[in-house]
Amino acid sequence: MMRRVRALISAAVLSGPTAASAAEYVDTPYADRRAFSLILGPGASYAESINASESSAVAGGDVHLDLGASRTVGYDGDELFVLIRGSLRGPDLSVAGGYRSFFGDGAWQTFYDLGLLIRPFSGPWVGPRIALGARHTFSDRLAVFGGLGLSLGFGAGLRGDAEAFTGVQWIFPVGSK
């Protein structure tokens, strides 16, 4: 009886590394998931700013159009993105960039953005931007998304923006399949 127990324990200990390596999670290589995307979409925002040099406060709404690109990073399809945002108020241009992390494996995914918003011409203003949203992927090549974001601007005073954004994302795989 004792010999059987020792034999079972020895077999379990010796086969442990083999069983663990056989049960190891195997995923498609990262190279198969790399993609470059083009982004285009409209949005709306509300901003309040205090200009330090004029000691005045300004508030109001705005409509904008985003044009940008993204590149996947990591194994989960997360992205680094850069957007040029054209605004009707002013008119003004700004640049947003950052990291977009996706959650979910199906056609519907949620995401958050962490980044930086730079407004070089109307201020200038520079500050952090955060956003939450959802994306629906129709195919390996096309997705639509939308979300809500907040940003702060520092520089020529203090500025706060709340935004709603939407867009279309054209996805181009990079690498071999």
Residues 109-156: tens digit of each pLDDT:
999 999 999 999 887 999 999 999 999 999 989 999 999 999 999 998
Nearest to 158 by CA among 131, 124, 116, 129: 124
Rounded average pLDDT over 32-49: 91
In the chain, domain spans: 35-52+59-173
CA distance 156 to 125: 6
Can you give the pLDDT at residue 3?
A: 61
User: Residue 140 region, left (φ>0) first, then alpha (ψ -120 to 50), else beta?
Assistant: alpha
Instruction: Confirm or reject CATH 2.120.10.30 for domain 35-52+59-173, answering yes or no.
Output: no
Pick from 35, 31, 47, 142: which is nearest to 94 by CA?
A: 47
Q: How far is CA 90 from CA 47, 86, 156, 176, in A?
A: 13, 10, 16, 45
Displacement of CA 104 from its chain's centroid (Å): 13
- Model pLDDT for residues 60-93, shown as the tens digit of each residue: 999 999 999 999 998 888 999 999 999 987 778 9
CA dist 152 and 160 (Å) reads 5
pTM, entire model = 0.77
